[in-house]
């Protein structure tokens, strides 16, 4: 049996935690399993690297950021291999170059394309525990890339798929996937199971417990995931194709505080304008979310949308650069906003779910800026200062509380 086990930053934050993880992996190894471990940088080390970079250059080149980021993961895998050796087990650490994990060229937001499994297989055949750096890859220029914040989950799932692993376990600092972030919503309940589709929406909409691309990849390759705590032995949450849970109308609530809103005011009301706006952003690799277009009046219209806060400056700059081609009056941006979403496969067949969410927010006297929906989710944009109150009220209104 081959197992892939991924441990996040808090799980390897200090010496004691590193030995805790080493022991958990050795337990599997001693049962005769092949063990592949994926690690994140220790604690908040990636954030520290960002501060160090910004202290030197407030807008560092993305290539150099990735070069810097890779240190974090490289440090934790080497220390882990040392800990396992100290415990008498043969282990080897490998980075993206050594494994050869190819990605697209987009620095800071690369996608995995191909993973060579040969080196890992060879090491496993020598009965070593193989410890791989999460989050990083290499592109066609042989430069380091990273997969986006939280990307180690995706490394783990991709490795599990490439190695046809029997299980892929994501160990973190909470007991599993909850109906909402348990740090924000004290009454949140742990889910026994959740479908890929629901998890994909939750993670895309702000539930940082799993990197959204890891869920996308798990669904594509049919890799069942277990999310559980590295600090206890509780069973965790299973993420899979069909989850046999009591079908709740809404299975989770997510909050994304990293979204900023951009409004382009006074665009020409003619065919092709939306295409031009989003095409110039796409060319810069800027992901756009909730989009709202006003009804045209006097030959002009407005388009608003949200982007990740790390992209706000580049978004405004790109639009300004294309001012001639797009022709608009002005751009407004707003940063103190939050995106609140409810997700649940049960919504498809139940009208009134959105109305209930709006009513709950109305009762809390919370104003909604923008709305976006799909078959299994409703998203609203609200003021960041209302976010804590809103998520708790909506969570409890749908009967999700413990």
Among 78-86, 103-111, 146-154, 274-282, which window interacts with Mg ion (CB under 5 A)?
146-154
| Residue 234 contacts ligand ADP per CB under 6 A | no
In terms of C-beta density within 10 A (0-12 exposed, 13-18 middle, 19 or more buried), how is residue 34 classed? buried
Say whether residue 178 binds ligand ASP (CB under 6 A). no
Query: Mask 119-158, x = binds ligand ADP (CB under 6 A)?
Result: -------------------------------x--------
User: Taking contact as CB under 6 A, which single stretch among the options 89-97, 143-151, 174-182, 195-203 is the one that binds ligand ASP?
Assistant: 143-151
Stretch that binds ligand ASP, among 39-47, 106-114, 125-133, 366-374 (CB under 6 A): 39-47
By the rule CB under 6 A, 172 interacts with ligand ADP: yes
Out of Mg ion, ligand ADP, ligand ASP, none, which partner does residue 41 contact, by CB within 5 to 8 A per kind?
ligand ASP
Which position among 134, 150, 176, 252 is part of the footprint of Mg ion (CB under 5 A)? 150
Q: How far apart are CA 384 and CA 233, in angstroms?
A: 36
Residue 257 has, within 13 A of its CA and on its CB side, a CA count of 11
Place of tokens 């700059």: 317
Span of 5-13, 81-89, 181-189, 294-302 interacting with Mg ion by CB under 5 A: 5-13
Centre a 10 Å sphere on the Cβ of residue 37 and count the other Cβ atoms it contains.
30
DSSP, res 152: H
Extract the runs of DSSP E, i.e. beta strands, from 311-366: 330-334, 337-343
Beta bridge mates, 330: 265
Cβ proximity to ligand ASP, 177 vs 290, nearer residue: 177
Answer for which of 108, 208, 224, 266 binds ligand ADP (CB under 6 A) is 208
Among 4, 10, 37, 156, binds ligand ADP (CB under 6 A): 10
User: What phi and psi, each to the nearest 5 degrees, are found at residue 228?
Assistant: -150, 175
Query: What whole-number distance in Å separates Cα of residue 343 and Cα of residue 378?
Result: 7
Distance CA 133, CA 380 (A): 36
341 counts as binding ligand ADP under rule CB under 6 A: no
* Other CB atoms within 10 Å distance of the CB of residue 367: 11
Give the x/- contact pattern for ligand ASP in 62-81, rule: CB under 6 A: ----------x---------
């Amino acid at each position: 049996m081959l197992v892939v086990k991924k441990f996040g930053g808090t799980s390897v934050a200090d010496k004691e935690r590193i030995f805790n993880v080493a022991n958990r992996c050795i337990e599997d190894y001693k049962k005769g399993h092949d063990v592949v471990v994926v690690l994140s940088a220790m604690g908040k080390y990636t954030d520290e690297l960002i501060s160090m970079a910004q202290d030197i250059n407030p807008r560092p080149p993305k290539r150099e950021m990735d070069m810097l980021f890779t240190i974090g993961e490289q440090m934790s895998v080497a220390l882990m291999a040392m800990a396992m050796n100290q415990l008498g087990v043969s282990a080897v650490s490998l980075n993206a170059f050594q494994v050869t994990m190819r990605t697209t060229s987009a620095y800071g937001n690369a996608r995995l394309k191909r993973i060579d499994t040969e080196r890992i297989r060879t090491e496993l055949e020598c009965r070593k525990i193989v410890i791989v750096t999460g989050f990083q890859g290499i592109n066609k220029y042989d430069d380091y890339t990273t997969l986006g914040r939280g990307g180690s989950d995706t490394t783990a799932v991709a490795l599990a798929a490439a190695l046809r692993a029997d299980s892929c376990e994501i160990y973190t600092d909470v007991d599993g996937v909850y109906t909402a972030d348990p740090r924000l919503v004290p009454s949140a309940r742990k889910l026994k199971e959740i479908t890929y589709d629901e998890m994909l929406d939750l993670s895309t909409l702000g539930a940082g417990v799993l990197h959204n691309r890891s869920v996308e990849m798990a669904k594509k390759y049919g890799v069942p995931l277990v999310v559980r705590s590295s600090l206890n032995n509780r069973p965790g949450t299973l993420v899979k194709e069909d989850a046999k849970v009591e079908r709740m109308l809404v299975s989770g609530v997510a909050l994304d505080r990293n979204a900023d809103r951009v409004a382009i005011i006074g665009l020409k009301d003619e065919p092709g304008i939306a295409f031009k706006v989003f095409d110039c952003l796409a060319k810069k690799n800027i992901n756009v979310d909730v989009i709202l277009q006003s009804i045209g009046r006097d030959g002009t219209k407005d388009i608003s949308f949200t982007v990740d806060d790390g992209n706000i400056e580049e978004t405004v700059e790109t639009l300004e650069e294309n001012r001639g081609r797009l022709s608009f009056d002005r751009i407004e941006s707003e940063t103190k906003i939050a995106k609140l979403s409810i997700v649940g496969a049960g919504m498809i067949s139940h009208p009134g779910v959105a109305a209930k969410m709006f009513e709950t927010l109305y009762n809390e006297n919370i104003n909604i800026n923008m709305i976006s929906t799909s078959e299994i989710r409703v998203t609203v944009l609200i003021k960041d200062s209302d976010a804590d109150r809103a998520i708790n009220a909506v969570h409890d209104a749908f009967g999700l509380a413990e």
